[in-house]
């Protein structure tokens, strides 16, 4: 494996990553020697399913995939007495730009993810779990496959895990390159062998999910956190982080910083701490210009807002969000209009085409950016961008992809409108590209 760039070891209150970097941690024996699978044993042999879900509720854990929904509450939506089959589906289709933390977890400790999956499966009464992993993740896929084989040999995956009469099976399904599959209902369509276009809700996946059956969908990091919560207790876990957004989470810090990496950070630290201290700040002689606090879909924040804290409430007050925890940093040698153009190309390319505002709006926006960047812009292009941005937002589409595209325009307008005017009205870029 490549050199680890990010949290590992017992320092700094690491919970998930404290054993990362241990040689062969991906092997089941090593994982167990570090206390692995004790949470599963405890959950299966000493706890009632409802008590497990309650523990997760008490912890205040919120989904780490992007939407930040309360995990325990989500688990309680699955009616345990519904006849089988029910499914747990794990979203390992990590593809939010600037986000690499699920890959980091899977490559370091695949068994931690399996342990979380099995606890969740028992809690909601599902005998079958499917891990939907993005097709480009060859190495994590191979490691997961080996880990599942090991867990099956040990009898953890199988008819009687830890001797408990509750069969659990875990299978892998590879994605094939489509950002939209990170959206939960699009992922389900894909798992069913269809074009990945989001479904209309209701019915929600908890009622009618994979293959028409009740389904719990959770992100890799969310489930990887569950063993920690069972081991330390929900109330202890809830003491970390902020009151409404407890715990630690893995932030991927990338872009123009000296030490890009995946940092496990107690929620509520400032982005100044995360970007300037943990990641070492921008290259010498450069200043932070702007950062995306939670993947490219999170509205941008300018340098003046570096003291914003990383909890969901503070980010919402700053008109952004924690999203996937992908912190992308851009320094003052880069142009915001070019960056927004690149992201709109992304959203236009990844639109699944189902909802008109997103299918048409993304391409319109790209065209406006092309004119502006070719010095053919005017007030007309700026006004059109604002109209497109409005049309993409506020629930006009079945999923959040359209909103995300709109937020790129919206938030870069909010904080950097004068740069847009430089380009569109005066046909100049004040950023030195040196």
8 A C-beta contact, residue 120 and residue 226: yes
Distance between CA 406 and CA 389 in Å, rounded? 4
Q: Which one of residues 49, 116, 227, 255 is an interface residue with another protein (CB under 8 A)? A: 255
Residue 140's closest CA among 175, 178, 114, 104? 104
The answer to whether 101 and 260 are in contact (CB under 8 A) is no
Distance CA 68, CA 62 (A): 5
Cβ contacts of residue 212 below 8 Å, gap of 6+?
Answer: none
Nearer to another protein, 137 or 237 (CB): 137
Taking the least distance from each CB to another protein, the nearer of 273 and 334 is: 334
C-alpha distances in Å from residue 350, one per residue of 46, 260, 346 = 45, 26, 6
Stretch of residues binding another protein (CB under 8 A), selected from 20-28, 249-257, 372-380, 392-400? 249-257
Residues 362-401 that bind another protein (CB under 8 A): none
Task: Tell me how many residues contact another protein (CB under 8 A).
Answer: 66
Q: Tell whether residue 134 is a contact of another protein (CB under 8 A).
A: yes
**What is the C-alpha separation between 167 and 149, in angstroms, rounded?**
15
CB of 1 or CB of 11, closer to another protein? 1
322 binds another protein (CB under 8 A): no
Site string for another protein, 160-199 (x = CB under 8 A): -----------xxxxxxxxx----------xxxxxxx---
Site track 206-225 with another protein (rule: CB under 8 A), x = hit: ----xx-x------------
- Secondary structure tally for the chain: helices H, strands E: 16, 9
- Say how many residues make up the chain: 434
The answer to the question of residue 280 lying near another protein (CB under 8 A) is no
Residue 1 interacting with another protein (CB under 8 A): yes
What is the smallest separation between the CB atom of 196 and another protein, expressed in angstroms? 7
Residue whose CB is less far from another protein, 225 or 296: 296
Segments in 8-109 forming alpha helices (H): 28-33, 38-46, 49-59, 71-76, 101-108
Residues that bind another protein (CB under 8 A): 1-3, 5-6, 85, 94-100, 102-104, 128, 134-139, 142, 145, 148, 171-179, 190-196, 210-211, 213, 252-256, 260-262, 292, 296, 326, 328, 330, 334, 339, 342-343, 346, 349-350, 352
């Amino acid at each position: 494996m490549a050199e680890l760039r990010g949290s590992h070891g017992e320092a700094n209150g690491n919970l998930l990553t404290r054993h990362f970097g241990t040689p062969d941690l991906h092997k089941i024996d090593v994982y167990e020697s570090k206390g692995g699978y004790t949470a599963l044993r405890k959950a299966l042999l000493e706890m009632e399913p409802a008590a497990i879900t309650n523990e997760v509720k008490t912890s205040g854990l919120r989904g780490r995939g992007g939407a930040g929904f309360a995990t325990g509450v989500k688990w309680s939506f699955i009616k345990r007495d519904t006849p089988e089959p029910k499914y747990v589906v794990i979203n390992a289709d990590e593809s939010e730009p600037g986000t690499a933390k699920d890959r980091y977890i899977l490559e370091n400790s695949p068994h931690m993810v399996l342990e979380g999956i099995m606890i969740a499966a028992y809690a909601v009464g599902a005998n079958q779990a499917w891990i939907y992993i993005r097709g480009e993740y060859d190495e994590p896929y191979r490691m997961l496959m080996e880990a599942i084989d090991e867990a099956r040999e040990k009898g953890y995956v199988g008819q009687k895990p830890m001797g408990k009469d509750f069969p659990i099976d875990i299978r892998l399904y590879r994605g094939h390159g489509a950002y939209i599959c990170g959206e939960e209902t699009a992922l389900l369509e894909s798992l069913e062998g269809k074009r990945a276009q989001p479904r209309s809700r209701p019915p929600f996946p908890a009622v009618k999910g994979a293959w028409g059956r009740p389904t719990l969908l959770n992100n890799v990091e969310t489930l990887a956190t569950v063993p920690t919560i069972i081991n330390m207790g929900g109330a202890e876990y809830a003491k970390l982080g902020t009151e409404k957004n407890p715990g630690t989470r893995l932030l991927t810090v990338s872009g123009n910083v000296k030490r890009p990496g995946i940092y496990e950070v107690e929620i509520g630290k400032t982005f100044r701490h995360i970007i300037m201290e943990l990641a070492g700040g921008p290259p010498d002689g450069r200043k932070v210009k702007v950062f995306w606090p939670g993947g490219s879909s999170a509205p941008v924040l300018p340098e003046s807002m570096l003291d914003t804290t990383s909890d969901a409430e503070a980010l919402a007050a700053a008109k952004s969000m924690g999203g996937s925890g992908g912190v992308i940093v851009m320094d003052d040698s880069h142009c915001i209009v070019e960056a927004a153009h690149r992201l709109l190309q992304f959203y236009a390319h990844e639109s699944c085409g189902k909802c008109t505002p997103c299918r048409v709006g993304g391409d319109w926006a790209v065209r406006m950016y092309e004119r502006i960047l070719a010095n053919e812009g005017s007030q007309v292009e700026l006004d059109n961008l604002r109209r497109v941005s409005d049309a993409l937002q506020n629930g006009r589409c079945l999923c959040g992809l359209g909103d995300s595209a709109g937020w790129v325009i919206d938030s870069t307008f909010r904080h950097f409108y004068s740069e847009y005017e430089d380009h569109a009205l005066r046909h100049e870029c004040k950023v030195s590209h040196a």
